[in-house]
Structure 1
Amino acid sequence: MPRPGTVGEVFAVFAKLGVTSFGGPVAHLGYFRDELVTRRRWLDDERYADLVALCQFLPGPASSQVGFAMGMLRAGVGGALAAFIAFTLPSAALMIAFAFGAEFLRGPLGGGIIEGLKVVAVAIVAQAVWGMAKTLTPDRRRAGIAVAAAVIAVVAFGAAGQIVAIVLGGLAGLWLCRSKDGTAAGSLTFPVSRVVGGICLATLAMLLIALPVSAALTGNGAVALADAFFRAGALVFGGGHVVLPLLDAGVVQTGWVTPEQFLAGYGVAQAMPGPLFTFAGYLGALSGVGPGGVVGGVLALAAVFVPGFLLLVGVMPFWNVLRARPWAGAVLRGASASVVGILAAALYDPVFVSAVIDGWTFALALVCFVLLTSWRVAPWIVVLVGAAGGVLLAFV
């Protein structure tokens, strides 16, 4: 492992990612890999895939959990908080601003930018799949596991298919990927004790019970708002778009936000960098229940993110122990190969099928991919190229 960094370093790196990571959670994993694994070498591909596999297992915003854990590994608790704040703040601020009537990204110009950013996500995810495949599927057995995982993820679309693919990949690895020593190479060691982990898990369980009870007994709008978003963040697997049905149930079906407001905010969220969970800030600011405005937005953001982070920190010390078992290396090699397959499946659907709609968008995706892989152009420049290309295509 490289030497520890500083909180300021982590904040600066994730602030850059927070304004350039377009395309949703799968694309974010590609951006993280390019910036933190390939360029800065904070981790190698094996450790990174291990971390991705862990976060895919857990409810919550998967890409934000990966970033939180990367910050913790680099600079402790301060680094974890710095990574979260820096990565989340840009899109959160923009989404809350939109709730006050900043209706931008509409018409041909805005639509072109959104379509161009979708195309950039194709190139980013394709680069991540290609790079991770070379490291994590170097032989026929692991390549076969990756292909099987991709098939499972495509056929059983959604978070459930991803979890099944990782579980089966780990079992296949136990059978097919044993090494001579059988230990997990390049293990991750999180700076979290079992006591702290237990406290986090207990806090999560207590809040899941206390918030709805308190909301029912007191009738307090702020508590009811926190409860709705806390449950959404605690019960969603896979993050990103998977949280939308839970948010709809929490704020639209209860009458707190109108369907038109919900859809308008969701449309703008597609054009934002950073985690899609910041959509909660927009909904909290507009909600007819709770404080509303900036305070309501911040409360909703805190409530939707906290459960995933409590669960992640809670399982970290037990993951350390589990990883040291003699059979863990084989399981994790199989699970890591499955992660490659899952990313490949996500590259197809939703990333490719939603962005590449004709020959022109395919050409733009190819240009962005070559800029990233052959020309080694920085991702933020490729984002600008993709957005400009999308605008040009919108007016042609």
Structure 2
Amino acid sequence: MALSLDPEIAQALAPMAGAMADATPPAVGDIAARRAMWEPIIGAAGTAQPIPDDVKTSEHHTTADDGARITMRWYTKDGAAPGPAVLFFHGGGYIFGHIDLFDGPVSRYVSASGVPMLSVEYRRAPEHPFPAPLEDAYSALRWLHAHAAELGVDRDRIGVMGDSAGGGMAAGLTILARERGGPKVARQILIMPMLDDRTTTPDPHIAPYLLWSYDDSLTAWPALLGEAAGGPGVPATAAPARLEDATGHRPAAGLHRGRPARRLPRRRRRLRHQTQPRRRAGRIPPAPRCPTRVRLHRLHLRRRPPRHHRPHPRPHIHLSRHRARSPHATGGVCRRSTQVARTPLPAATESLGHRHEHTEAPRGRAGIPLRAACALTAGRLPDSMRAARHLILT
């Protein structure tokens, strides 16, 4: 099966791909070379968009159980009302990255959503292997709960969020908090999370399009877990895809490999592989391979009313392309006083592909646009925080 990169996604990834084009891929196990290559790229991506001036930051510190001092940065939007908050963990495969590199993305998340965030400078592997990074995250969660009143935060509405390794950290922290009986985590917001240490066999269909390669995973997981990586004894707090019992687990929503992620089950059941969620009735359908050419039968288009509810005279179903492109059209359906016009599939597909002004992007149940579900870079996720606010505030 031949795959191709969607032009819209290719355009978004072009700056990062261009920065990596002249770089020689580091060998498996070369952590210093990966830090030298990736951190400038992440920094450039973080500053590609303007940093909002309505967000203020302050530095805080806490101490882990082993005595390590942890730096945390608190982001708040001017005039934001007290309420929910998010504990944020940056990406970097557990081996590189720090909070300064993600200052721009976190500021934009806070400015767009109005939800304050606490970004955590957790310790990195291999200098500090598991469980040190997770214990740093747990100490930060306890600190946020302890200082919730003075920060204007509702303890019952604290969520955890992260991208890549930070997404795996957020999921592992939720499991750890459940095992230890608290503090409470209200929601998980996971962006392309790093969940499974067993994905070591390259997939030839997607390997040519990867920015984070299989060699990178073969370097990062052993740095975090040592010789246990890929073996049977890895706990779910280190690799959350190994979780067997999700009883009492908090809901998770996020973006993973270009499709909206389903919520983790609340009742006792065996989890399927996270990258291949089961299709269920009523769930958000996976994003199509070409998001600008959505399948119209999956959209909730307006249907004709039952026969006994139809107005008189009976509406005329008009299938011409002219009516479909009228200024009264919405989502491929043209509604007038006594006439209902429906767009033929080729015309509607063309209108969505060319972004006519009357066409709205389809959205899933969580409010995540399907097109945004495929935007994986730090500067291409403005709509993800709209979903984050929806998930936290409800």
Q: TM-score, with normalisation over the residues of structure 2? A: 0.25
> In terms of Rg, which structure is larger?
2
Q: Which has the higher strand share?
A: 2
Q: Which has the higher helix share?
A: 1
Q: TM-score, with normalisation over the residues of structure 1? A: 0.25
